[in-house]
Every structure is written in structure tokens, then in C-alpha cells.
Structure 1
Amino acid sequence: MGKDEKREVIIDVQNVSLTYETNTKPITALEDINLQIKKGEFLCVLGPSGCGKSTLLKIIAGYIIPTTGSCLMQGEPIKGPDWHRGVVFQSPTLYPWMSVRKNIEYGPRVRSLPQDEIKRIGQHYLEQVGLIEFGDKATFELSGGMKQRVALARALANEPEVILMDEPFGALDALTRVNMQTLIRNIWKDTKSTIFMITHDIDEALSLGTKVVVMSKTPGKILKEFSLDFTYTAMTNKNGRVKVGEEYIKIKEEIVDIISQ
């Protein structure tokens, strides 16, 4: 049995389908999805636009209940949103009337943690995302990349079991995007967290994911899973980037072929 097989299953998606009722006819967004997310994995989901990637994330987050099948977290059915599953969207949903620090502290404050613990958590995650000198700034004063760092820190501040990310770097410029990829990889390594991330970018998925799942066009089905270790090699490179070799190119071309079907 391999090392990955021994890991605890945190999220178990079992035979999940989701059908939306519309004015004309029902639309099936997801069909018979089976997926396990194991502790410590960095799972990236790829697929064409409209294939149900975000729907799957919303089911795992607890925002949507599947039409058929079940979604479990550590053996218990997911019945609604829960701080054990932190969510980061493409557009950072920050509270503009709060400072950067207050945004990050929001979750622990809602959970009524002790005041000194809230301050410790806020300070720690400001440091984690490199915004220590911006703690008292208003969020509207920040660049897009900085806002996304705050959104990430706010999700991390609850110290969730799983971080769910819906194209979190999609709206960023190329350089900021690469910097954010390095940041999230380092945080994942340091915190030993479990991450489920949707992306349209095949290179992003290959350079971050320990597992990459490729979905079909609507209705979304899982066509193939890849187990990867490129993200570990990136950690050993001084520039924090993946070395693009023969294996990388071969897998990338296979994914392009699958998505283009």
C-alpha cells in the first residue's frame, strides 16, 4: 500500500449528481461524481467552462445539497456551510468597512474565541501572507493580489480542515499569480493543510497539485485522475518553479487532449 493510500479520507463524494430545475427543462450539471480528498492532499480540478467544477465545490462547501448521492466529511454528511471548510473565491469577498486585520480576525471573533487568541491568530496569518505592515489599512486601499492574500488569510484564520478555492488567482496578472502560487504552496507545506482548488490553468494545476482531476463537458463527470509530485520538486528549486521536463509535457498534452474532446 502506497503512502497516499494510507492517508485519512477527509471528504468523500459518493455517486453525486446535481440537476437544476429551469423554466424549460431540467439541466444536469454533475453526473455520478465519485471523489475522495485525503488529508494533506493538494487536489486541483480542471475542465472546460460550465462543466460543474464550481457546483462540485459548492456541494463540498455545503452551499448546495446534491440531487442524488452524498458528500461526507470525516464520515458525516455535509448539511451546510461549516468553518471546518474554508472557501476562497476568485473575487475576494472582504468587508470594506473593516481593516485588513479585522477581516482576518472575523471568523475567530464570530466563534467567540478569547480576545488574546483572536489577536494571536490575526497576527500569525498577517505574517503568513506577508501583509504585516498593512494590518491597519482599509481593504479598498489594497491591490488585487493583496486583497486575495487577505481573503486567503481570512479562510486560514479558522484553521479549517479543508480549504476550498474557486479559481482564486484567475483575475490576477501573470507575475502576481506566480507569486500567489508560491505563497499557497508554502502555506500548504507549512500548515499541512488539505486544499481543493479549481483552476482553468493546466500549468497551475500541474505545478501545485499532488492530485489533478479532469472533468468532462456538461454534464460534468470525472474523466481521469493524475497523481503528481511536481509541486515537491518546485519546493527544492531556488526560484520556486517547476522544472518542465518530458514527463510534465506528456501529462500536460494528455490533459489538453482530454479537455478538448
Structure 2
Amino acid sequence: MNEPLIRIENLSLEYQTQAGPVLALADINLELKEGEFVCLLGPSGCGKSTLLKIIAGYLAPTTGQCLMQGEPIKGPDWHRGVVFQSPTLYPWMNLRKNVEFGPRMRGVSEEKIREVSDHFLGQVKLTGFEDKWIFELSGGMKQRAELARALANEPAVILMDEPFGALDAMTRVDMQGLIREIWQKNKSTIFLITHDIDEALSLGTRVLVMSDRPGRILKEFQVDFTYKVFRQDARHRKYDESYFDVKDEIIDLIHYQDE
């Protein structure tokens, strides 16, 4: 079998507080393969974002290891694009300059930079807004711009930390449909953290559920609801009994694991 894109082996993370050491993650073992859309669920404070930061290279594990294509992750890298809940766009740059920032820092030719920014601005439906300043964009447009900026580096994996959590309900649904389309068209690999079970089930090809702190992987679900959206040529998931069976099991895992 091909080497997984991301492999996490026996990973734990402990950090120090004034009250003493806190074990945030314990015994995490996980593989992320090319083309997967993996969604991570769990109770608040269980270490979901901590795990994403380790994969991104922002944090180092206390024990165990996190590998990308067989090599230890030692720091942030453009091969791993990150999209946070709150956009981190540069307000002193217009939209196009924000999207082009990563490729320009890597020394990509100006011709290629323009080609890439045109392409991904088109994918996130922001063509025509290239010269707008960030303060002129709505919340949904900022998040689409954030996604375009991550895509412009053409990363091997996109890491998303509750990227739609701050959006209104209608914009959130639109963004979910957009990221599903981009994942399919670009054959992307996505690791998405969410607290929304419906979001995880409607987007993911695999859904992981974490325990309370210290965070452990309690169970994983192989799901195909996002594929059914494409097969049925429908924009949104049509819920059926199997969907609610999985959702109910996840709810039980998250809310009743200590009983």
C-alpha cells in the first residue's frame, strides 16, 4: 500500500500550567491518506485544535511522532495549508495580493502567480473582487479568500479548524457546498475540525470522534453521505435512516462517554 500522507504514531502532548502538568492528548494513532476528507469531532477542550496544530507543525508532541510522507514534521510548511475559524488575511493588502502572498514568498514566477490567483479566486467565486480591501469583504467572502490563499500554495493537505463556525447559517451551508466541490474537483486531501455533527457527516469520507481530555480517538466512522450528494446530483444531503443512526451513535459517544 502507498505511504499515508500523514501518519501519527503513539502521540501524546503534555503542557505545563501553574497548577501543574496537563495531558492534552494521549496515545493518538491516525493515518490520513491522499484524497480523504477526514472530519474530527469531540467535546470542547478535548484537544482537537491541538492535534491540528501538531499536524501543521506549530506544536511538537511530547511523545510519539507525526510524519508527513514518512518524514517527521518539524515546523510549518507550505505543503500543509491551514484555514482557521477567524480569517488571518493581511489588511494592508488587497484580496489578490493576499492570495498571491504564499507563491510570491516561494519565488514563483509572476506569470505563474497570476495564473494561480486567477484560478483559485475563480474556484471560490471571488472573481471581480480582486482589488477589494479586506475590510470591504463580508464574513463569508473573507473565509473564501482565506481558502483561496491556502489553495494557492497547492498544498498536499488542507487543515481546517472550525472554518465555518463564525458564519451565519446560510453562508455556512454555501461554504460547505463550496469546500465539497473544491475537494472533488482538485482531488484535495482535507482534515477538518468541527463541533457540528451534521457538517462532519455531510462532508467527510471518514469521521473521527475524540474523548474528553486527555483526547483519544474513541471511534472512526467510514461514511459516504458526501458522495451521495454527487451521485444524486443534489446540492444538499438527503437524510435517511442510516444517516440518523450514525448521528445518534456519535451523539452518544460525545455526550455520554463518561456514564
TM bucket (normalised to shorter chain) is over 0.9
Query: For 1:60-79, what aligned pairs fall within 5 Å after superposition?
Result: 60-79=55-74
> What amino acid maps onto 1:131 in structure 2?
L
> What amino acid maps onto 2:156 in structure 1?
E
Alignment-derived partner of residue 54 in structure 1: 49
- CA deviations on 1:118-177 (whole Å, 9 max, x unpaired) are 000010011000000111100110100000000000000000000000000000011100
- CA deviations on 1:91-142 (whole Å, 9 max, x unpaired) are 0000011111110000000001001000000100110000001111001101
Alignment-derived partner of residue 150 in structure 1: 145
**How does the TM-score come out when normalised to structure 2?**
0.97
User: By how many angstroms is 1:237 displaced?
Assistant: 3.7
> What amino acid maps onto 1:211 in structure 2?
R
Alignment-derived partner of residue 12 in structure 2: 17
Q: Tell me, what secondary structure is at the counterpart of 1:26? A: strand
Alignment-derived partner of residue 34 in structure 1: 29
Question: Which of 239, 242, 257 in structure 2 is aligned with 1:247?
Answer: 242
User: By how many angstroms is 1:243 displaced?
Assistant: 1.3
**How does the TM-score come out when normalised to structure 1?**
0.97
Question: Which of 82, 91, 100 in structure 1 is aligned with 2:86?
Answer: 91
Q: Tell me, what secondary structure is at the counterpart of 2:128? A: helix
- CA deviations on 1:208-255 (whole Å, 9 max, x unpaired) are 000000000010000000011100111234441111101000000000
> What amino acid maps onto 1:228 in structure 2?
V
Q: Distance in 2 between matches of 1:176 and 1:7?
A: 37
- Asked if the contact 1:46–1:212 (Cα under 8 Å) also holds between the matched residues in 2, the reply is yes
Alignment-derived partner of residue 210 in structure 1: 205
Q: Tell me, what secondary structure is at the counterpart of 1:132? A: coil
Q: Distance in 1 between matches of 2:113 and 2:128?
A: 18
- Asked if the contact 1:13–1:70 (Cα under 8 Å) also holds between the matched residues in 2, the reply is yes
Query: For 1:135-146, what aligned pairs fall within 5 Å after superposition?
Result: 135-146=130-141
Percent identical pairs in the alignment equals: 66
* Structure 2: runs of 5+ lacking an equivalent: none
Considering only aligned residues, what root-mean-square deviation do their CA atoms show, in Å?
0.8
Question: Which of 224, 227, 234 in structure 1 is aligned with 2:222?
Answer: 227
Q: Distance in 1 between matches of 2:181 and 2:147?
A: 13
Q: Distance in 2 between matches of 1:231 and 1:238?
A: 11
Alignment-derived partner of residue 3 in structure 1: none
* Structure 1: runs of 5+ lacking an equivalent: 1-5
Alignment-derived partner of residue 45 in structure 1: 40
Q: Tell me, what secondary structure is at the counterpart of 1:231? A: helix
Alignment-derived partner of residue 186 in structure 1: 181
Q: Distance in 1 between matches of 2:108 and 2:63?
A: 37
- Asked if the contact 1:8–1:39 (Cα under 8 Å) also holds between the matched residues in 2, the reply is no
Query: For 1:114-129, what aligned pairs fall within 5 Å after superposition?
Result: 114-129=109-124
- Asked if the contact 2:118–2:127 (Cα under 8 Å) also holds between the matched residues in 1, the reply is yes
- Asked if the contact 1:90–1:171 (Cα under 8 Å) also holds between the matched residues in 2, the reply is yes
- CA deviations on 1:62-95 (whole Å, 9 max, x unpaired) are 0000000000000000000000000000000000
